Amino acid sequence: MVAAAVPPRRLNWQLATVVELIDETERTRSIVLEPSDWPGHRAGQHVDVRLTADDGYQAQRSYSIASAPEDGRLMLTVERIEDGEVSPYLAGELRAGDQLELRGPVGGYFVWSDRGSGPVLLIAGGSGIVPFRSMLRHRAATSSAVPVRVLYSARSLHEMIYRDELMRCAACSGADVRFTLTREWPDTWRGHRGRISPQLLAEISWPTGDRPLNFVCGPSGFVETAAGALVACGHPAARIKTERFGPTG
């Protein structure tokens, strides 16, 4: 039998139209886009966005895809970094009907599908929750039976992205979603308080014998702490997938 070679997909820059903008928190905004040519994506992938100034200067950033492959629309969530070159425009000035230059989807490492997956632990710091929204929605859309636990660390309730959706997700799809607040919390707060620690991760991580798959996404220091704590709990490095985002905005 002769198998036909599948030509690789070219990764071209394309224009996408902004169809909706959703303010998630004071500093984060979701951008719903309609690309001219979208091949579909995997949960956890990202896109590159490029802005070009009038004088031709270009700045490019990567943003995780917040929507699930099954959602039928492409959504990014962008955190505004005050002195950034790209995020203040995307999270502040962009309007519905505008066009954005993007390419993607890209990324083949920080992706999840339930084929052959053990239980999953998703650990997010700040806007590191974005690719996990895609994974959680994908899990729900495919009625996956893979057990999933989420630990989301945010500074305060006000800075928690997708809070209501995550609560609903915990109630409806059997995901075990836990929160920790690091700077301020209401008196009635029943979640965890303070930064993630080896003790907290030892408490919430799946038993190593279950061969869990661990994903960690957040600022560099957060990722190092979480991944180090998982290794200390006995999880093999090969079962810990990490994605760091930086302060360039």
Partner 1 sequence: MEALDGNSIAGSLYELFGREMTAAPGACAHCASRAQIAELRVYGRAPGTVVRCPRCWQVVMVLTDVRGTLRIDYDHFRLLDSGEQPPP
Per CB under 8 A, the list member of 34, 48, 71, 85 interacting with partner 1 is: 48
Q: Which stretch binds partner 1 (CB under 8 A): 21-29, 106-114, 166-174, 196-204?
A: 106-114
Q: Which two tokens stand for residue 160?
A: 């928690």
Whichever of 43 and 175 has its CB closer to partner 1, that residue is: 43
Per CB under 8 A, the list member of 25, 75, 87, 104 interacting with partner 1 is: 104
Q: How far is CA 172 from the centre of its chain?
A: 20
| Adjacency order of strands within the sheet including 176-181 | 192-193, 176-181, 148-154, 120-125, 213-219, 240-245
Per CB under 8 A, the list member of 23, 156, 220, 228 interacting with partner 1 is: 220
- Classify the phi-psi angles of 152: left when phi > 0, otherwise alpha if psi is within -120 to 50, otherwise beta: beta
**Number of Cβ atoms within 10 Å of the Cβ of 188:** 5
SS3 47: strand
Site string for partner 1, 55-84 (x = CB under 8 A): -------x----------------------
Q: Which stretch binds partner 1 (CB under 8 A): 86-94, 108-116, 164-172, 206-214?
A: 108-116
241 binds partner 1 (CB under 8 A): yes
**Residue carrying the six token digits 């930086």:** 246
Per CB under 8 A, the list member of 108, 116, 186, 209 interacting with partner 1 is: 108
Helix (H) or strand (E) holding 31: strand 28-35
CA 132/CA 67 separation, integer angstroms: 9
243 binds partner 1 (CB under 8 A): yes
In the complex, least distance from residue 27 CB atom to partner 1, rounded to whole angstroms: 18
Q: Which stretch binds partner 1 (CB under 8 A): 112-120, 146-154, 177-185, 236-244?
A: 236-244
245 binds partner 1 (CB under 8 A): yes
SS3 175: coil
Q: How far is CA 247 from the centre of its chain?
A: 16
Distances in whole angstroms, Cα of residue 143 to Cα of each of 66, 119, 146, 174: 18, 14, 9, 10
Instruction: Looking at residues 160 to 219 of the shown chain, list those that interact with partner 1 (rule: CB under 8 A).
Output: 219
**Number of Cβ atoms within 10 Å of the Cβ of 5:** 6
Q: Which two tokens stand for residue 41?
A: 């994506």
11 binds partner 1 (CB under 8 A): yes
Q: Which stretch binds partner 1 (CB under 8 A): 85-93, 144-152, 171-179, 235-243?
A: 235-243
Three-state SS annotation for 87-128: HHHHHHHCCCCCEEEEEEEECCCCCCCCCCCCCEEEEEEHHH
In the complex, least distance from residue 110 CB atom to partner 1, rounded to whole angstroms: 6
248 binds partner 1 (CB under 8 A): yes
15 binds partner 1 (CB under 8 A): no
Interface residues with partner 1 (CB under 8 A)?
8, 10-11, 46-48, 62, 103-104, 106-110, 219-221, 241-248
